[in-house]
Amino acid sequence: MRDESEGFQGRDRRPTRFFTVDEANELIPLLESKLKECDRILVEIRAVAELTEDLEWYWGESIRQDSNPDRDEYLRLESEKNQRIEKWNAAIREIGNLGVEIKNPDIGLIDFYTIRDNQVVFLCWQRGEPEVRYWHTIEGGYNGRRPLE
């Protein structure tokens, strides 16, 4: 489903902007909303995928044959699933276009480029946290999170 190269946004991606803590915090309500939209679309994708998988299980390879009575329904569901996947990818791109790094949309893990002690680092936020409270080096990742204070 992910069509972004190098995972969501590869390590070689250059920052489109740098954030202060306040600027990052201002984006949190919008990020929460966008991530909720991604969740909703993902639920729809999984529901349609389950239906196509059921048809594949029942009919096997014959589901794709012209003579199969469920072929048209299967093709309709496959098309619907692909449209929803593209909708999810577009929603992910919208979030990325805000200038943030989407590390894991499933858990709502977002990084914001910033400058700290003359180094480029990430401010790190995860869905459910009321504000940005952590940072880490570019290489450090989630496990390297440190409190801002």
Cβ 94 vs Cβ 34: under 8 Å? yes
Q: Please give the distance of CA 101 from its chain centroid, rounded to a whole number.
A: 10
pLDDT tens digit sequence for 11-52: 556 788 999 999 999 999 999 999 999 999 999 999 999 999
pLDDT tens digit sequence for 80-102: 999 999 999 999 999 999 999 99
Residue 80 in any domain: the answer is yes
Cβ 55 vs Cβ 77: under 8 Å? yes
Residue 10 in any domain: the answer is no
- Please determine, for residue 4, whether its predicted confidence score (pLDDT) is greater than 50: no
- How many domains would you assign to the chain? 1
Res. 149 pLDDT band, cuts 50 70 90: confident
Structural domain that includes position 128: 21-147
Residue 9 in any domain: the answer is no
Cα 119–Cα 139–Cα 112 angle in degrees, nearest 5: 60
Cα 19–Cα 25–Cα 29 angle in degrees, nearest 5: 125
User: Is residue 102 exposed (0-12), middle (13-18) or buried (19+ Cβ within 10 Å)?
Assistant: buried
